[in-house]
Amino acid sequence: MSNLDNYEHYKFLTVEDLISIIKKKDLEIKKISESRDMYYEYNKFHIGEISRLDKIIGEYRKKYNS
């Protein structure tokens, strides 16, 4: 059984059906891409905040432990 056998059922769909499937998949890809971008920005923000707070903590430790 070849990998193409999994797609034999597409031969029975109309052009409109195929276009509809492609449009739905395009929307899914766009949503995933937007989610990925949002997740990246969210993580970037938090990494920045952690770095900023870590610097402040380091300054306090130097100031009060010396």
Tally of CA atoms within 13 A in the half-sphere of 39 that contains its CB:
6
- Greater confidence (42 vs 6) lies with 42
Q: Is the pTM of this model over 0.85?
A: no
Buried b (16+ CB within 10 A) or exposed e, 17-29: eeeeeeeeeeeee
The answer on pLDDT for 44 being more than 90 is yes
Question: Which pLDDT band holds residue 1 (cuts at 50, 70, 90)?
Answer: low
Domain ranges of the chain: 3-65
DSSP letter string over 17-38?
A: HHHHHHHHHHHHHHHHHHHHHH
Question: Would you state the pLDDT for residue 53?
Answer: 96
CB atoms within 10 A of CB 1: 5
What is the tens place of the pLDDT at every residue in 12-29? 999 999 999 999 999 999
